[in-house]
């Protein structure tokens, strides 16, 4: 697990005792010098210079735009286009996937139950909240935390592979009949065939789902269904159902830029389809390849999940006994 492990430990202590005090293990991690913010938090304060268009987009042998390249979020052609976290850079359009003043992006319209679930999945129970819950609510909170812990190193899925996985850079390798996508974060990858095939009648759920693709003019349209429900659409707990349908549109308007836009339909979770703003990616200004990045499970992770499951079992038994009286 990554830096938010300390928060998970606090939550687990609360679940086990049903009264949240403090977690010495979490405090110990902070004492060891774990940064409270990423080391790149103090990035350049002056607005950055966006890359020029660079001329027309290259073409494949079949005349379609060649989407190949290593791409970074924003307009700088390098990793800190998205990772700059200081207040000064947050307002710099060159460091963001889109400028909300120019192309505002609506928030997903969640159904009430889904909105509450997303809130829980994104941050877990608040400190001290469990002691104020009914046993049924505690049981639901434990189920949520188990799901959070068990998904730490899972693939990001679709559209998470691009919305989340590409935050450290992604590489696209295009041929006339195939698009390969690789991300540095968590080493996610997928291969999409561009051959006119239709979806299976009943596709088996997969982390990246079942994708088919076609060209709409100079835009590659990827249609994905059959997504594993354990994945999130973003890094903040956006859950989805087995009915999620994702349409992605990749366009390369010039040599140095790639535009990515998605539509998400999920009638169980959303009240209406969600359409993203056009997200801008820029071609890497370096010849360096993607770095190696892997997700490692915390050594105590299994122990934490076991403790949660034991607490869950005890609560379930208590609820069952009380209901049978």
Residue spans of beta strands (DSSP E) within the chain: 69-73, 170-175, 178-183, 189-193, 210-216, 219-225, 245-254, 257-265, 274-275, 279-283
Judge whether residue 151 has pLDDT over 80: no
Q: How confident is the model at residue 271 (pLDDT cuts 50, 70, 90)?
A: very high
pLDDT single digits (tens) 168-197: 899 999 999 999 999 988 888 999 999 989
Q: What is the pLDDT of residue 251?
A: 98
Q: How far is CA 206 from CA 108, 157, 248, in A?
A: 23, 8, 17
Domain regions of the chain by residue span: 1-36+60-325
Q: How far is CA 174 from CA 208, 219, 287, in A?
A: 18, 13, 18
pLDDT single digits (tens) 284-300: 998 899 888 877 766 55
In sequence order, which residues have a C-beta less than 8 Å from that of residue 4 and are 6 or more positions away?
none
Three-class DSSP category at 262? strand
pLDDT single digits (tens) 1-58: 333 333 333 333 343 333 333 333 233 333 333 333 333 233 334 457 889 999 999 9
Dump the DSSP string for 8-39. Answer: HHHHHHHHHHSS----HHHHHHHHTT--SS-T
Q: What is the pLDDT of residue 241?
A: 96
Q: How far is CA 83 from CA 7, 38, 42, 262, in A?
A: 21, 8, 10, 22
Lowest mean pLDDT among 141-150, 221-230, 232-241: 141-150
């Amino acid at each position: 697990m990554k830096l938010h492990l300390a928060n998970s430990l606090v939550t687990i202590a609360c679940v086990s005792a049903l009264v949240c005090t403090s977690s010495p293990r979490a405090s110990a991690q902070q004492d060891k010098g774990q940064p409270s913010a990423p080391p790149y938090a103090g990035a350049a304060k002056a607005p950055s210079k966006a890359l020029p268009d660079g001329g027309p987009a290259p073409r494949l042998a079949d005349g379609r735009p060649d989407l190949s390249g290593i791409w970074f979020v924003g307009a700088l052609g390098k990793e800190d286009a998205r990772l700059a976290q200081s207040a000064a850079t947050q307002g710099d359009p060159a460091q963001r996937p889109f400028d909300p003043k120019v192309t505002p992006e609506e928030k997903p319209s969640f159904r009430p139950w889904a909105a509450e679930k997303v809130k829980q999945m994104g941050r877990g129970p608040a400190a001290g909240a469990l002691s104020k819950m009914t046993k049924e609510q505690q049981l639901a909170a434990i189920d949520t935390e188990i799901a959070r812990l068990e998904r730490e190193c899972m693939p990001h899925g679709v559209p998470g592979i691009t919305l989340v996985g590409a935050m450290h850079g992604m590489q696209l390798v295009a041929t006339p009949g195939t698009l390969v996508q690789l991300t540095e974060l968590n080493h996610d990858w997928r291969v999409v065939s561009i051959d006119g095939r239709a979806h299976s009648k009943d596709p088996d759920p997969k982390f990246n789902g079942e994708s088919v693709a076609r060209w709409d003019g100079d835009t590659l349209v990827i249609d994905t269904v059959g997504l594993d429900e354990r994945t999130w659409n973003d890094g903040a707990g956006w859950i989805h159902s087995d009915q999620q349908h994702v349409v992605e549109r990749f366009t390369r308007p010039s040599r140095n830029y790639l535009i990515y836009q998605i539509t998400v339909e999920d009638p169980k979770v959303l009240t209406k389809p969600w359409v993203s703003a056009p997200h801008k990616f820029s071609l890497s200004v370096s010849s360096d390849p993607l770095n190696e990045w892997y997700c490692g499970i915390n050594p105590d992770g299994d122990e934490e999940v076991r403790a949660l499951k034991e607490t869950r079992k005890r609560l379930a038994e208590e609820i069952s006994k009380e209901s049978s009286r």
